Structure 1
Amino acid sequence: MCFFMLRASSKIYCLVSFISVLILLWAFYLYSQDSVQNRIGLMCNDNTAAAMKTHTYVVEVKRCSNKDSWSVGNLLMPTGLTYSQPNTQRGRTDVNCVTNWNVPLVWEGTFDPLVIDAIYKKTDPRVGVMIFAVGKYTRFLKGFLETSEKYFLTGFRVTYYIFTDSEKDIPAVPLGEGRNITVLPVPAARRWQEVVFGRMKWATITIDKQIRNETDYLFLMDVDSLFYHRFGAESFSRLSAVLHRGYYKKTERVDFPYERRPESRAYIPFGEGDYYYTAAVLGGYLEDMYNLVRYCYEQSEEDASNNIEAVWQEESHLNKYLLYNKPTKVLSPEYLWSDYDRVPADIKVVRISQLKKNYKEVRPNGGH
């Protein structure tokens, strides 16, 4: 009897021990899985951080936090629109219409105005135009605004952000539906270089402080210009830059007027470069324009702290930025010509042109 009781107790003990071992093994398995997952997570985080640290750019870009930023999205068009059939065999053959990074280089004859405007009007973007009218440059406001209302993005919502040191000189110009003016006071300048550098500074501050929720697409333009022909939605892209009229044909990159002094943050070595872009007209999505203007502002400030000024001020920093952060659309010199220059055969249309003026008379430091 005792023998059988001992055998039964032994079996129960063994069974309990076996179950206990199984429970311990299961607990150890769960613990090890958590540890592995945690280690994997840490490794992923470490690898991501390492990748972010090693994935550096020649030009540092700081993003603005606007997760709901506007974009064109799908290229939707209203039904029933009548337009000419596109052709794969005909077009401009006298000029190049695409860059070597495969984005459009826009000329008259490379798009259908009816189609492109219809597509973008469907997205109904809020367009901002920043212009600086400081000192005697207020005299150019009336002509700029009047011709802009006739030719610039007609039928779109447009706000002109006018930076000026003389609010009383803002002209009363009739504006179309959905178009308005916002006046932003800035200090007077002693040197014209302060005005051009100030554009990037005040553009950065204004985007940060005021217009982030007012504008989807932003242009920077020079006020001493007149529009002569339609300037439409074909100019839209994430970042659109305009070829400088003086260097777009046969200029070798070694002869571009880039900043060549290594001491400047705008420095571009000989042997590098795509095009030379003007700073007098540029545009893009608000976030992309913010990145550009903030970069130019910060780099010029760093130059100033080192007692150096880039050869062409903010235009030098702009060209450095666009060399390493390619524009998503390049606009031909149709989008900024000059009344000083003869119009060549490849410029079929002058859309906007800078006016002739006496720089010594209009600039605060006599043009120097």
Structure 2
Amino acid sequence: MTLSVSRTDDRGLGKRCCCLLNVLLLLLVLCSFWFCIRSDRWRHGIPPSCRPQGTTTNLSIASLSPRDHYKNVTSQRMLYEKPDALKPPRTDILMMTPWFAPIVWNGTYNIDVLTAQFQQRDLRICLTVFAIKKYTVFVQTFIETAEKYFMVGHKVTYYVFTDHVSNIPIMELAEGRRLMVLRAPTYQRWQDVSMRRMEILRDYSRQRFTDAVDYLVCVDVDMRFNDEVGVEILSDLFGTLHPGMYGVPRKIYTYERNPQSEAFIPLDEGDFYYAGGYFGGNVEEVYKLTSFCHNAMMADKAKNIEAIWHDESYLNKYFLYHKPTKILSPEYLWDDSFGIPKFLKRRRFVTVPKKHNEIRN
């Protein structure tokens, strides 16, 4: 009799456990369903209970996942000569750095292929110059030649920083191109004008360029475009080989050699010597570069140190330890006083002849 009662109790206990397990599973399913509904409402906007009366819900949009917002990629047929993996386009110049950054020379790329790739991204390009004091006289030639040769067919905004806004001419620009004239402070010495560019570019990169620009191109204003400059220059971070230093030994580079300076580079270091008058990249990378240069300059100023070539010295220090992802050849920044060597097939951006002392003083 005792054994029979024990078996009966075991069967009752098993049924109760089974019922309890079923209830728990049901509660789990209901909680999961409720959580999915709530999270879906918040993911796609304001919950229905919080929407103003009279509004409607776009069910087709609300039901989309984040991946449904990706743009479809379209292909366009292009005909061009097949590249030969065993035959480099040029053998008279260096086309690649040790860290796999291309050096842009004429004949090493197909601009039609590059343009087709970049046009799919609907780029917004910003070209910045500083026209302080007498340098306003260069603005008209600069923009007129840029309209003819710089990023033709792309969206371009010219940002001209100046202390003489009224001296900047009103110019007719092509469709999709704008001129923005921004007031900038002036300084007594041209060296300070040159160095403070980094501070201004840093501040505008953080405050204005982030949402308005895809690529920044920062150049000197006392120049003129002489040949085509297109999307081949664009990269996350690019610098330009100095036209007077492209083929000299490392020890000849005019880096800052004072060990106390933040721009100091030892004699046994250095890849190339970069020009301070032509650099750029995406907004984040330009912000990092200009922020470093400005902070380093301020640190040196506190020590009463001024680097030999001012902002250019700090730019070279940055590029030494933060390698550019693309380098522009001297085609993109040339001075005709150096003559025209055989390797230089095109002179895309050249200096305007001037008397430096008269302009700077």
TM-score strictly above 0.5: yes
**What aligned pairs does 1:1-368 form with structure 2 within 5 A after superposition?**
78-88=75-85, 89-249=87-247, 251-364=248-361
Give the Cα–Cα distance (whole angstroms) in 2 for the partners of residues 177 and 86 of structure 1: 35
Q: Which residue of 2 aligns with 1:69?
A: none
* Amino acid across the alignment from 2:245: Y
Deviates more, 1:210-219 or 1:144-153: 210-219
Shift of 1:100: 1.3
1:30-87 Cα distance to aligned partner (Å, 9 max, x none): xxxxxxxxxxxxxxxxxxxxxxxxxxxxxxxxxxxxxxxxxxxxxx884123333323
Give the Cα–Cα distance (whole angstroms) in 2 for the partners of residues 78 and 140 of structure 1: 42
Shift of 1:114: 0.9
* Amino acid across the alignment from 2:299: E
Q: Is the 8 A contact 1:240 1:283 kept in 2?
A: yes
Give the Cα–Cα distance (whole angstroms) in 2 for the partners of residues 327 and 286 of structure 1: 14
1:106-143 Cα distance to aligned partner (Å, 9 max, x none): 10000011111111111111111110000000000000
Shift of 1:220: 0.6
Aligned-residue CA RMSD in angstroms? 2.3
Give the Cα–Cα distance (whole angstroms) in 1 for the partners of residues 74 and 230 of structure 2: 16
Q: Is the 8 A contact 1:78 1:122 kept in 2?
A: no
* Amino acid across the alignment from 2:135: Y
Give the Cα–Cα distance (whole angstroms) in 2 for the partners of residues 210 and 353 of structure 1: 29
Distance 1:178 1:272, change over 3 A: same
* Amino acid across the alignment from 2:182: L
**Unpaired segments of 5 or more residues in structure 1?**
9-75
**Unpaired segments of 5 or more residues in structure 2?**
7-72
Deviates more, 1:81-90 or 1:153-162: 81-90
1:86-112 Cα distance to aligned partner (Å, 9 max, x none): 233251111111111122111000001
Q: Is the 8 A contact 2:307 2:313 kept in 1?
A: yes
Aligned length: 297
* Amino acid across the alignment from 1:128: C
Shift of 1:345: 0.6
Which 4+ runs in 1 deviate beyond 6 A? Answer: none
Taking every aligned residue pair, what percent have the same amino acid on both sides?
Answer: 41
- TM-score, with length taken from structure 2: 0.78
